[in-house]
Amino acid sequence: MVILKKLRWIMLATVVLGSLLALTPPALAGYVINSDGTVTFSLTAPANTSTVTVNYSATPSLEVIGSMTKGANNLWSYTTPEVLVPDWYRYYFRVDGMKTPDPSNPTLLYSTNDSGTLWQFFMVPGPAADFLATKDVPHGMVSTVWYFSSVTSSWRSMAVYTPPGYVHDNRKYPVLYLHHGANNDGFQWIWSLRADFILDNLFAEGKAVPMIVVMPDHSGIGGIPMAVQGDPAQDLYPVKELLENIIPTIEQKFRVLPGSRNRAMAGLSLGGWRSFATLLQVPNAFDYYGPFSAGWTSAQIATVEQDHRDLLLDIAASQNIKLLWIAMGKDDSLWANAQATMALFDKYGIEYTYHETIGAHQPYVWRVNLYDFAQLIFREHGPQPPHGHHR
């Protein structure tokens, strides 16, 4: 097991090193949160640089390209016209069109699945972002676990979060299998969505049952064959990959409680679609399902009802499922898909809980979804006392 280490980070190191060497010393860069709520970005670039821009999330759902102004000593700067409300934001620089990292910021994410996008992050603190802030509480660990996929005939990876205390106790834990969105990998939940900090804070406050969280890389270049545009009952992932490869690997390498009552599945967007597909194919594999920002298209609903009515009836008859929690932002582009999927469930007597929040198809919504869903699962393990502070 290698802590926070993936092959793609070798590529990241190459990008970072090349970019840093291109900077004119001393390398001045970074961001400053101003008293009026705006943010000023700065970067020192070579003297012959023509243009420097900063790509940043002006709101949790709006990406902006800001043109930076050159000042003394080749220092380029840009102040956002927007006030950035408390949240976790991402950004990167371009120097004459080349993606360039901020050498002062260690929060680097290089996603090979997202067109080679390099992102860095910063927090605007405040009450609305308190649930995902870094606090003086016990912290879990995130590891990279490799396994051989019989579906793709290749080695694949997944991020695995173990809760505070896992390395010191002999307890067995329930497991949440948490899935990323399209054009990402399992570390989207760590770097971009701060799942580990959200869970640390929930456990410290006694609001959620301590659990292991597995974040597989279920798409990407050369990835698992997807049926997102087709029949969800034909998707290979639920049975061939999740049940036959991923879960056995986790149960071999970690101390986990056995059985469906100790397993939950959730995910955002594509990961939510996977959750629905798994529910359809093997409803009794998990007792808890949490599809976020997802739903079937009208064509998929027609196919499911016409060709797989028996599977819908199996879901309705399941005695295992304790919670089917469907979450959606009210302005999400997939809102209509979710409503149509729930209408199908209503028709077949499939029980679910619908949770709608303010927001669109965006990171803030998914962080809140995880915060809420994590408090609802595995409650039969009893109330959890706060962990208290850790120094």
Q: Is 387 within the bounds of a domain?
A: no
Nearest residue to 285 via CA among 306, 261, 254: 261
Q: Is residue 72 part of a domain?
A: yes
Domain boundary among 123, 144, 163: 123
**324 against 364, higher pLDDT:** 324
Residues 246 and 366 placed together within one structural domain of the fold: yes
In the three-class reduction of DSSP (H, G, I as helix; E, B as strand; rest coil), residue 26 is classed as coil
- The mean pLDDT value for 114-129 works out to 82
Is 115 in the same domain as 196? no
Whether 113 and 136 map to the same domain: the answer is no
148 membership: H or E segment, kind and range:
strand 141-149
What's the pLDDT at 26?
44
Joined tokens for residue 340: 């149509």
Lowest mean pLDDT: which of 3-7, 247-251, 306-310? 3-7
DSSP state of 384: -
Give the model's pLDDT for residue 182: 82
Q: What is the pLDDT of residue 18?
A: 46
Do 311 and 189 share a domain, yes or no?
yes
At residue 391, the pLDDT reads: 25
Q: Which pair of structure tokens corresponds to residue 38?
A: 């705006």
Q: How many independent structural domains does the chain possess?
A: 2
Three-state SS at 127? helix
Q: 5 pLDDT band (50/70/90 cuts)? A: very low
pLDDT digits (tens, 9 = 90+) for 247-286: 999 999 999 999 999 999 999 999 999 999 999 999 999 9
Across 306-332, average pLDDT = 95
Q: What pLDDT sits at residue 219? A: 78
- pLDDT above 80: residue 390: no
Strands 154-162 and 141-149: antiparallel
Instruction: Flag whether pLDDT at 311 surpasses 50.
Output: yes
Task: Indicate which CATH number applies to the domain containing 97.
Answer: 2.60.40.10
Looking at per-residue pLDDT, the higher value among 372 and 112 belongs to 372
User: What number is the average pLDDT over the span 376-389?
Assistant: 64
Q: How far is CA 347 from CA 289, 301, 337, in A?
A: 19, 12, 16
* 88/18 same-domain check: yes
- The larger pLDDT score, comparing residue 363 to residue 4, is at 363
Give the pLDDT confidence of 130-184 residue by residue, as tens digits.
Answer: 999 999 999 999 999 999 998 888 899 999 999 999 999 999 999 999 999 887 7
Q: With bands split at pLDDT 50, 70 and 90, how would you rate the model's confidence at 109?
A: low
Residue 377 in any domain: the answer is: yes
Tell me the mean pLDDT in the region 292-299: 95
How do residues 228-243 score in pLDDT, each as one tens digit? 567 899 888 899 999 9
Does residue 386 or residue 225 have the better pLDDT? Answer: 225
One domain, residues 259 and 145: yes
Looking at every residue in the chain, the average pLDDT score rounds to 86
237 SS3 class: helix
Average pLDDT (379-383) is 70
Residue 214 lies in a domain: yes
Query: In terms of Cα–Cα distance, which of 6, 305, 274 is closest to 142?
Result: 6
* Residue of 189, 340, 389, 204 whose CA lies nearest to 270: 189
Q: Is the pLDDT of residue 113 over 90?
A: no
In percent, how much of the chain has pLDDT > 90?
70
Domain-located, residue 312: yes
Residue that finishes a domain, picked among 123, 152, 174? 123
7 CB-contact burial (10 Å; exposed 0-12 / middle 13-18 / buried 19+): exposed
In a domain, 386, yes or no: no
SS3 call for 109: strand
Select from 63, 90, 123 the last residue of a domain. Answer: 123
Contact 113, 183 (CB under 8 A): yes
Instruction: Express as a percent the part of the chain with pLDDT over 70.
Output: 84
217 within some domain: yes
* Domain extent for 178: 132-381
Instruction: Specify the pLDDT at position 74.
Output: 94
Same structural domain for residues 94 and 17? yes
Shared domain check, 96 and 10: yes
Amino acid 382: pLDDT: 59
Residues 161 and 56 in one domain: no
Q: How confident is the model at residue 16 (pLDDT cuts 50, 70, 90)?
A: very low
Same domain, 117 and 148: no
Residue 224: pLDDT band (50, 70, 90) is: low
* 188 in Cβ contact with 220 (< 8 Å): no
Least confident stretch, 113-122, 259-268, 296-305: 113-122
CB contact at 8 A, 112 and 220: yes
CATH of the domain at 185: 3.40.50.1820
pLDDT at 57: 82
Residue identified by tokens 């997944």 is 158
Same domain, 307 and 351: yes
Asked if the structure places residue 388 within a domain, the reply is: no
Residue 229 is predicted with a pLDDT of: 62
pLDDT at 42: 96
For range 93-101, the mean pLDDT: 92
Both 372 and 313 in a single domain? yes
For residue 221, pLDDT beyond 60? no
